[in-house]
């Protein structure tokens, strides 16, 4: 089989995954998630540059959103349930701390697809808005910065400026 030009940017393949569709290489990334299919399962989903998500079957981004909203794909587990970790064992959840909210997971997956296609992500748009505001601190640019910051998945916000010591304080102090 001869593979045609890949969908997604080839430099994004490092550490990533791929699938082949109609002789095209579709680049992707994997992410841990829980699936509630009768029981609870810790598994990897595949997020691909063409917007397809592999979550125990290939689905569109819209179908993925629906699975998250209906609770088939989870970010949080209730206490007391057993979680199957394939080929490793089963764990019982007790006092779990889960910090990713369902709507934030959807935003993260959307950003992953954008990044795989070298398109702006919520993070890059926020960085641009921050620089624009620093260069010209107008009220309208402050509002653009506020909206850009709020579009970033909450669990990803501390990484906005790439400074783990200051985290996102320079932005939150403005907005």
Query: Residue 48 CB: number of other CB atoms within 10 A?
Result: 24
Each residue of 119-164: pLDDT tens digit? 999 999 999 999 999 999 999 999 999 999 999 999 998 878 887 7
Distance CA 60, CA 102 (A): 17
Distance CA 137, CA 143 (A): 10
Boundaries of every domain in the chain: 4-100, 122-174
Q: What is the pTM of this model?
A: 0.86
For the chain, what percent of residues have pLDDT higher than 90?
Answer: 75
Each residue of 8-22: pLDDT tens digit? 655 555 568 999 999
What is the per-residue pLDDT for 98?
85
Give the H/E segment covering residue 21: strand 17-21
What is the per-residue pLDDT for 101?
94
């Amino acid at each position: 089989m001869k593979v045609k030009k890949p969908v997604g940017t080839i430099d994004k393949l490092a550490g990533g995954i791929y699938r082949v569709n109609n002789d095209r290489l579709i680049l992707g990334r994997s992410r841990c998630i829980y699936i509630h299919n009768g029981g609870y399962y810790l598994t990897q989903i595949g997020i691909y540059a063409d917007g397809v998500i592999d979550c125990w079957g290939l689905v569109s981004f819209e179908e993925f959103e629906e699975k998250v909203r209906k609770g088939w794909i989870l970010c949080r587990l209730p206490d007391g349930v057993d979680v199957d970790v394939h080929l490793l064992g089963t764990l019982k959840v007790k006092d779990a701390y889960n910090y990713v909210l369902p709507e934030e997971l959807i935003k993260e997956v959307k950003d992953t697809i954008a990044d795989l296609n070298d398109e702006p992500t919520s993070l890059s748009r926020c960085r641009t808005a921050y620089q624009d505001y620093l260069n010209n601190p107008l009220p309208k640019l402050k509002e653009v910065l506020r909206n850009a910051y709020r579009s970033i998945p909450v669990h990803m916000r501390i990484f906005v400026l790439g400074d783990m010591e200051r985290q996102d304080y320079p932005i939150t102090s403005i907005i």
